[in-house]
A and B are shown apart, each in its own frame.
Chain A
Amino acid sequence: MNMIFYIAAFVSIISTGLAITGKNAIHALLFLILSLLSISIIFYILGAPFIAALEVIIYAGAIMVLFIFVIMMLNVGLEKEMEKKWLRPRMWILPTILAAILLINFLIMLKTVHFEKTKEVVVLPKQVGISLFTTYLIGVEIAAILLLAGIIGAYHLGSQKKKVIHRFMEKN
């Protein structure tokens, strides 16, 4: 099981790195889906099978398909030159060093804090559901309101405005 964790973590880190450095948006998105699938394997072997299924269904299934729709609606082939200019080493070396410093900071913090060992067992979906709809019921309602606001916002922003000028008269 430890070996599976290491393999999945390796695949996930490599494919996430490829996803954020890719030039083609669709290819980067496919790498991101690969990363999400390997993270879902890690969720499964950490004892959270329900979350592993949710990761595949919602993240890799729904959210990434939304991204693919938007990329297909936009014509993203025109951005290549600008992207090449931005991806020169002089541009990305400083943010990467800062992010690496943050990672080293996190490593030092992990070295200083000591966790006690516990025996790991599977947390079943039944326990999750009971906790979700009793202790965290107010959180569920807040999430429902947030999703409603998201729906209304996406509908309002996504709707095209009606043209008031005739298309022969508008200036280009």
Chain B
Amino acid sequence: MVTLSIETQLLFAGILFVIGLAGLLVRRNIIFMLMSVEIMLNSAGLVFIIAGAHWLQPDGQVMFIFILAVAAAEVSVGLALILQMYHHYKTLDADTLNKLKDTQDEL
């Protein structure tokens, strides 16, 4: 098995999380934003696995399974919302969703 220090492994998970965060902040295409959220959830699960491997407990893997369930539910509802958004506004730009009132006639 791997004999690396836990700091190196946690650093890898942190880099992945920060890449996902930067993607979420930079991109305005909503599909890319959802993908960045997936990257962040995955790196959070990676931290659980690293901690579980460090303390030799199965709890980390159990938590990863829960994160997987949450990610699956989130992505299915999120993609359905993206379909609705594209149906209404004909765009994937997240900045078009800044109006509370329905202004579909003006668009």
Give the interface of A toward B (CB within 8 A): 1-2, 4-5, 9, 12-13, 16-17, 19-21, 25, 28-29, 32, 35-36, 39, 42-43, 45-48, 50-51, 54, 58-59, 62-63, 66-67, 70-71, 73-74, 76, 79, 82-83, 86-87, 91-92, 95-96, 98-100, 102-103, 106-107, 110-111, 115, 117-118, 120-123, 127-128, 130-132, 135-136, 139, 143, 146-147, 149-151, 153-154, 157-158, 160
Residue in A70, A86, A98, A139 whose CB lies within 8 Å of B79: A70
Question: Known contacts A95-B26, A118-B55; is A63 also within 8 Å of B49 by CB?
Answer: no
Tell me the B residues contacting A by CB distance below 8 Å.
1-12, 14-16, 18-23, 25-29, 31-32, 34-36, 38-39, 42, 46, 49-50, 52-62, 64-66, 68-77, 79-84, 86-87, 91-93
Residues of A within 8 A of B54 (CB): 115, 118, 120
